[in-house]
Amino acid sequence: MATSSEGVWRVSSCLPKAYSGVLNYMTNLLHGIDRLFDLFFRLMKPLPALAVLTVFAILTAAFSLVIVRWTSNQKAIRKIKDSIGAHVLEVRLFSDQPRVVLRAYVGLLRSLSGYLLCALPPALVLTLPLLLIFGQLEDRFENSPVTPGFDFLVSASLGSGDSLPDVALRLPPDLYQTAPAVRIAPEREIDWRIQAKRSGVFDLHLVLQGQEISKRVVVGSDASSIAPRRVVGNVLQQIMSPSEPPLPHGGSVQQIQIQYPARLFDVGPWRVGWIAPYVVLTIIAALLLRKPLHAEI
Amino acid sequence: MQAPQRHWRNSQRARKLFVRMSAAVLSILIFAPPAHAYVGPGAGFAVVSSFLTWLLATLQAIFALLTWPIRQFFRFLRHRRAYRKAQTKRTIILGFDGMDPVVTKRFIEQGKLPNLARLREKGTFQTLATTLPPISPVAWSSFLTGVNPGKHNIYDFVMPDRRRYLPELSSARIRGPRRCLRIGRYKIPLSRPRISLLRKSTPFWHYLAKAGVSCSIIRVPVTFPPEKFPGVLLSGMCVPDIQGTQGTFSFHTTRSSREESGSNRVVVPFAKHEDWFHSYIPGPPDPLRTDSRAVLRAPFHVKPVVSKRRAVIRIDGQQIEISEGKYSEWVELKFRAGIGPNVKGICRFYLKSVEPHLELYATPVNIHPMHPALPISHPLTYSVYLAKLNGLYATLGLAEDTWALNDGFLTEDAFLEQCYLIHEERERMFFDALEKTSQGVCVCVFDITDRVQHMFWRHLPKADDPNSETGPETPNAIEALYTRMDQLIGRTMEAVSRDDLLLIVSDHGFKGFERGVNLNSWLHQHGYLALRQGAPSGDWFQDVDWTKTRAYSMGLNGIYLNVKGRESMGTVEPGSEATALRAELCERLQGLTDPENSRVAISRAFDAMKAYRGPYRENAPEVIVGFGEGYRASWDSAQGRVTSTVFDVNSKAWSGDHCIDPGLVPGILFSNWKIAGERHAITDIAPTLLSVFGLKVPLHMDGKTWAMTPSGSGPALQRP
C-alpha cells in the first residue's frame, strides 16, 4: 500500500515552501479523514452498498442543513420563498390581466435571483467539506475491484519529451502480465495488461530513470476504497483522490490509472452510478429533516 | 466620523473577502467534474427548485399571454355589454363599518378630515339610510344583494334554533361530517364537514363578473363560506375562528389556579415546573372523539425574564421573545388529532405582565390563511396568495377582540394596538387589490371603525361641548381613527382617476349606549314569558317555561313569538292570534320610557310582516325593536337571561352602539361623483352599480338606482 510520505517528500522538494506546507497539511488531514471513513465503512460493512449510501446521504443532508441554518439568512429565505409563491399564484389568479402577469413574472425573476443569492453563503461554506465527502465517496462507490483471473489495464501517462522513456513495471507475486506492454508514442502512454491470481490489495511499481512510483490495485477484495488514478498533485487533486498521495511534481509520470469496472447500483429498473441516487437521497433527506432541524432551504 | 469610516472599511473588507471566497469556490466548481459541482442539498435544492419554479412560471406566463387575445375575444363576444354601456371602467367602494355621519361632519368642520372635506366639496356627501335592524350583517347583506332582509334572510348575528330555543349563527352553518365510523369513544370521519351559507339572494359582483367585469372583493361581511364566481374574494365578518366560534380568546395566568370558560374566553392557569410555566391554547373539537367537549390543544411553555420585563415562549418548535405590553408576530399553531391530519391556526400573544403574576393573552386562534381548515376565500388560493405576499393576517370575522377589553383582559392601549395591527394588514390587501383592478370593481370593507367606536364612544367629546373631558388612557381614539381613515381615503384618491367612480360608504352610524333594556325581563313582567320557578333564569332561557311562554327575545333587536308547529313547544296559534300578538307587542313597546329618567327607551317597534317583503320574511323575528338614543338591548337580554329589572346601566367599555332605531343611525355616503337626489339607502348600491356598468337591474332588487355624473372638469381628485 502506498504511503503518504513517499509522494509528499518528493513534491515538497520541488515546490515553494509554503505550498508544500499546505500540501503536507492537506495530506495529513486527508489521511485522517480517510481513516475516519475507513472506520465508518468498517462499521457498516454488513449493510448493502445502497444502504450505506443512504446513510451517508442522510448524514450529508443533516450536516448541510445545520450549515445552511447557521450561515444563511433564514428569515430572508422564508420571505423570498413566500414572495416566489405569491408571484406564481399572481400569474394564475390574474391571468386575464397581461400587465399583472408580466409584472408578476419580473417580480418572480427578481425573487428567484434573491433566493439563489441567499443560498450562496451556505454554498460557499459547504463547498470544501462536501468536496472532501465526495472524494471519499467516489473512492468507495465509483468502481468495483478487478476480478482474479480477468485481465485489466494499467496505463501510465508520461510527461512531454522526445521519445518514450523506458519504464519497467514491477509486480508483486500475485499479479502477472498477460501481454507485452503497449507503447503509444503520440499519446505518450504505456499500457500493460495484467491479471491477478487471487483477491487482495497489492502495490505495483513503475520504475523509471531510477525513480520508483507505486499504485495500489484492489482485486476481488472488499476493501472500501478503490482509487483508479494517481496523478501529479495539487490541492484539488488531493481532495478528489484522497486515498493515495499525489505523484511528485517534475517527474516523468503524470498519471497512473487502473481500469476498474464501474460500480452500478440497481435502483428499480435502472442501473446507475452512485452519484444520482446520492443526490436524490440527500435532497429527499434534506426535505424530510428541514422541519426537525428548523432549517429553511 | 470615525465610526462610519470603520464601518465602511469593515464592509469593504467583508466585501473583498466575499468576492475572494466566491472566486475560489467558483474556480473549484468550474474545474471540478460536474458531479462535484453539487454543493449539498441546501444549495442544490435552491438551484433545482428555482429552476423548476422559473420553468413553471414561464410556462404559465407564456400560456396566459398567448391565450390572452383569445380569451379577450371570447370575453368581448360574451360580455361586450359590460364596458360598452358602462359609465365608468373602474369603481372602487371603500366600506367603513359604522362610520357615523354626525361625527364625520363634525371632524370635517374642525378641519381634521381634509380628504373627506374635498370629496364633500367636489363630489357628494350624504347620509345613507341603513336597514331594519341597523346591524352590520343585516346592512352589509342588503348592500351586497340590493334587497331587504326579507329576501336575504339575515336579521341579526344570531337566530333561534326553534327546536332547542338556543342561538345559532344566522349567516353560516357548520356541521360535522355526514358519515362517521364510530368505535367506542372514538370516531373516524368519512366525509368532510358541511358548511352552508344561510344568506340568500345574489351579490352584485356575481352579475358583474358574469358580464365580464373584473371584481376584487375584500372582507365584505357575510361572505363566508365564499361563493364561487369569476373573480377573487376574501371573506370577512362571520368567518369563525378555529374553534368554530366568532372569537374565543385565551388568557393564561398564575393569578388563578382554576380553569374557567366563558362564552368568549378561556382562562387557563399556568403550571410551573422549574423555570418554565406551562399552559395550552384550546383548539377545535377533536374530530376523532365522540365527546363533543373534547378539544385539541396546542401546549406551550413560557419562561419569564423579570429583570428585562419580557418572556420567552416556546410553542411547536418555535421560540418567541416578547416584551411586556407588546404583541408577538403571528404564531403558527398546530393542533394534532392523533394520527389524523393537523389543523393549523395562527394567533398573536400579548404579554400583559411578568410580575407579580405572569399574565399572557392569546388572541382567538384564526384560521391559517395558508392552510385554511375551512374555505375563507375564492378561489381557495387567494387567501394563500395574500399571506405569501404580505405575511400572515387575521382571518377571523370579528378579529378585533372587543370582549377582551370589555372583560378587562386587555387595556385600552393594547386593544387599540391590536386593532391597528389588523387594520394595517387589511390596508395592504386593499391596495394590492386596487393595484390589480385597472378595470372593474374593487370593494373592501374595513371593520376597525366599528370596533373602536363601540369601545371608545364614551371618550368622544359631546358635540355641543368640544372641550369636554376625554378619557384618561386614549383620549382621542375616535378622532385618531377618523383621521387615519381619512389618510387611507387620501391614498385611495391618489390612485383614482377622474373617470373612476369612488364610493365611500358605511352600513350604519353610532350612538351612545348608556342604559340597557332587558326585553326578556319586560316580556316576563308583562306575562308574555313564563319562568318555571318564578326565579331569574340563567343563560339562554335556562328556567323558562316554554309551555306558558308566548314571546321571547333573542339577539339584539328581535322578539320572536313561540308559534305552534314552528317552535318545539309553541303556544301561539299561527294566523290571527299571532297577528294580534304582534300588534299588541308593537303597541305596548313603542314609546316605552325609562322610569329612571323618563327618556324614551324604545322609540319604535316594527311588525316584521309589515316591515319586510320576500320569501324569507317568515324567518324574521316577529317584532323588531327600535331603541331610542342612549339605549340598547341589555347584555343580559342578549344572553337570554331574565332578570328582575328591565333597565340597567351599561358600565362596560362597550359604550357605543347602533342596534337601535334605524332612523337614528344612518350611515355615510361619499363619492367623487355628483349623486343626484337625497335619502339614498344602502340597498341602492347594488342596483346602482349594475346600472353604472350598463347591466339590467334584476326585478327582485329593492334598491333604486342613483343618477350620477363625474364631478365635472378640473384635475382628478388629489390629496390636498
CA distance A120 to chain B (A): 7
Q: Higher confidence at residue B18 or residue A140?
A: A140
CA–CA separation, A85 vs B387, rounded Å? 10
CA–CA separation, B521 vs B535, rounded Å? 11
Instruction: Note the pLDDT of residue B714.
Output: 41
Question: Which domains are delineated in chain A?
Answer: 61-141+267-289 (no CATH), 146-261 (2.60.40)
The DSSP letter of residue B464 is T
Which of A192, A218, A196, A208 has the alpha carbon at shortest distance from A254? A208
Instruction: Note the pLDDT of residue A247.
Output: 83
Residues A18-30 pLDDT 10s: 666 776 777 778 8
Residues A163-186 pLDDT 10s: 778 888 999 999 999 999 999 988
Instruction: Note the pLDDT of residue A44.
Output: 87
Whether residue A97 has pLDDT greater than 60? yes
CA distance A179 to chain B (A): 33
For residue A134, give every residue at least 6 positions away whose Cβ sits within 8 Å of its Cβ, in sequence order, or none.
Answer: A240, B35, B36, B38
Bond before B375 cis per omega within 30 degrees = no
Instruction: Note the pLDDT of residue A112.
Output: 85
Compute the mean pLDDT over every residue in chain A, rounded to the nearest whole number. Answer: 84
φ/ψ bin of B712: left (φ > 0), alpha (ψ from -120 to 50), beta (otherwise): left
By the CB < 8 Å criterion, does A94 face chain B? yes
**DSSP run (H or E) holding A156:** strand A151-158
Average pLDDT over residues B394-412: 95
CB A221 within 8 A of CB A144: no
Instruction: Note the pLDDT of residue B45.
Output: 61
CB B384 within 8 A of CB B378: no
Instruction: Note the pLDDT of residue B260.
Output: 87
Instruction: Note the pLDDT of residue B388.
Output: 96
Average pLDDT over residues B175-201: 87
Bond before B34 cis per omega within 30 degrees = no
Residues B308-336 pLDDT 10s: 999 999 998 889 999 999 999 999 999 98
Instruction: Note the pLDDT of residue B550.
Output: 97
Residues A238-252 pLDDT 10s: 677 777 877 877 778
Q: Is B61 close to A287, i.e. CB distance below 8 A? A: no
Average pLDDT over residues B193-208: 94
Residues B649-708 pLDDT 10s: 999 999 999 999 999 999 999 999 999 998 999 999 999 999 999 999 999 999 999 999
SS3 label, residue B348:
coil
Q: Is B65 close to A67, i.e. CB distance below 8 A? A: no
Average pLDDT over residues B9-35: 54
CA distance B41 to chain A (A): 5
Q: What is the pTM of this model?
A: 0.83
C-alpha cell of residue B244: 368554530
Of B21, B61, B214, the CB nearest to A91: B61
The DSSP letter of residue A247 is B
C-alpha cell of residue B211: 358580464
Q: Is A65 close to B384, i.e. CB distance below 8 A? A: no
CB B708 within 8 A of CB B677: no
Q: Which residues of A touch B21 (CB under 8 A)?
A: 124
Q: Is B54 close to A108, i.e. CB distance below 8 A? A: yes
Substitution target in B27, B45, B371 with the highest count of A β-carbons within 10 Å is B45
- pLDDT exceeding 90 applies to what percent of chain B? 72
Instruction: Note the pLDDT of residue A121.
Output: 87
Average pLDDT over residues B184-205: 90
Q: How confident is the model at residue A122 (pLDDT cuts 50, 70, 90)?
A: confident
Residue type, B292: S
Of A92, A130, A134, the CB nearest to B60: A92
Q: Which residues of A touch B36 (CB under 8 A)?
A: 131, 134, 240
Q: Higher confidence at residue B508 or residue B24?
A: B508
Q: Higher confidence at residue B532 or residue A161?
A: B532
Which of A277, A274, A297 has the alpha carbon at shortest distance from A286? A297
Instruction: Note the pLDDT of residue B471.
Output: 46
Instruction: Note the pLDDT of residue B37.
Output: 47
Written as one string, the DSSP assignment of B493-560 is HHT--TTSEEEEE-S---EEEEEEE-HHHHHHHTTSS-BSSSSPP-GGGTTB-GGG--EEEETTTEEE
C-alpha cell of residue A156: 501510465
Instruction: Note the pLDDT of residue A48.
Output: 87
Whether residue B193 has pLDDT greater than 90? no
Q: Is A109 close to B54, i.e. CB distance below 8 A? A: yes
Residue with the three cell numbers 349563527: B169
By the CB < 8 Å criterion, does B27 face chain A? no
Instruction: Note the pLDDT of residue A267.
Output: 83
Residues B335-374 pLDDT 10s: 988 776 789 999 999 999 998 999 999 999 999 999 999 9
Compute the mean pLDDT over every residue in chain B, rounded to the nearest whole number. Answer: 89
Instruction: Note the pLDDT of residue B565.
Output: 95
Residues B113-123 pLDDT 10s: 999 999 999 99
Residue A47 CA, distance from chain mean position: 22
Q: Which residues of A touch B61 (CB under 8 A)?
A: 91, 101-102, 104-105
Q: Among positive and negative, which fits the CA dihedral A69, A75, A81, A85?
A: positive
Whether residue B35 has pLDDT greater than 50? no
Residue type, A269: P
**Range name among B52-56, B524-528, B546-550 with the lowest pLDDT average:** B52-56
Instruction: Note the pLDDT of residue B51.
Output: 66
Average pLDDT over residues B488-508: 96
C-alpha cell of residue A112: 428567484
Residue A266 CA, distance from chain mean position: 21
Whether residue B30 has pLDDT greater than 60? no
Residues B420-442 pLDDT 10s: 999 999 999 999 999 999 999 99
Which of B715, B706, B700 has the alpha carbon at shortest distance from B87? B706
Instruction: Note the pLDDT of residue B24.
Output: 55
By the CB < 8 Å criterion, does A262 face chain B? no
Measured between alpha carbons, how far is residue B91 from residues B161, B208, B216, B438, B440 in Å? 40, 12, 11, 10, 6
Neighbours of B261 (CB within 10 A): 12
Residue type, B643: T
> What sections of B338-411 are H helices per DSSP?
380-390, 402-406
Judged on CB neighbours under 10 Å (0-12, 13-18, 19+), B565 is exposed
CB contacts under 8 A, A 23-62 vs B, are 60-61
Q: Is B41 close to A60, i.e. CB distance below 8 A? A: yes
CA–CA separation, B484 vs B421, rounded Å? 13
CB B688 within 8 A of CB B534: no
C-alpha cell of residue A97: 390581466
Q: Report, in this order, helix, strand and coil percent for chain A, each rounded to 5.
A: 50, 25, 30
Instruction: Note the pLDDT of residue A3.
Output: 39
Instruction: Note the pLDDT of residue B551.
Output: 97
Instruction: Note the pLDDT of residue A120.
Output: 84
**Range name among B245-254, B259-268, B561-570 with the lowest pLDDT average:** B259-268
Three-class DSSP labels, B561-625: ECEECCECCCCECCCHHHHHHHHHHHHHHCCCECCCCCCECEEEEEEHHHHCCCCCHHHCCCEEE
Instruction: Note the pLDDT of residue B690.
Output: 95
CA distance B124 to chain A (A): 32
Q: Name B671's bridge partners.
A: B124, B503
Q: Among positive and negative, which fits the CA dihedral B20, B21, B26, B27?
A: positive
By the CB < 8 Å criterion, does B44 face chain A? yes
CA–CA separation, A93 vs B59, rounded Å? 15
Q: How many CA atoms lie within 13 A of B543 on its CB side?
A: 13
Q: Is A127 close to B28, i.e. CB distance below 8 A? A: yes
For residue B31, give every residue at least 6 positions away whose Cβ sits within 8 Å of its Cβ, in sequence order, or none.
Answer: A236
Q: Is B36 close to A115, i.e. CB distance below 8 A? A: no
Instruction: Note the pLDDT of residue B41.
Output: 60
φ/ψ bin of B268: left (φ > 0), alpha (ψ from -120 to 50), beta (otherwise): beta
By the CB < 8 Å criterion, does A134 face chain B? yes
Whether residue B103 has pLDDT greater than 70? yes
**Range name among B49-53, B106-110, B270-274 with the lowest pLDDT average:** B49-53
Average pLDDT over residues B546-572: 96
- Give the ipTM of the model, two decimals please: 0.82
Question: Between A and B, how many CB-CB pairs are < 8 A?
Answer: 153
Phi and psi angles of residue A44, each rounded to the nearest 5 degrees, phi first: -100, 15
Q: Which residues of A touch B429 (CB under 8 A)?
A: none
Which of B580, B563, B581 has the alpha carbon at shortest distance from B572? B563
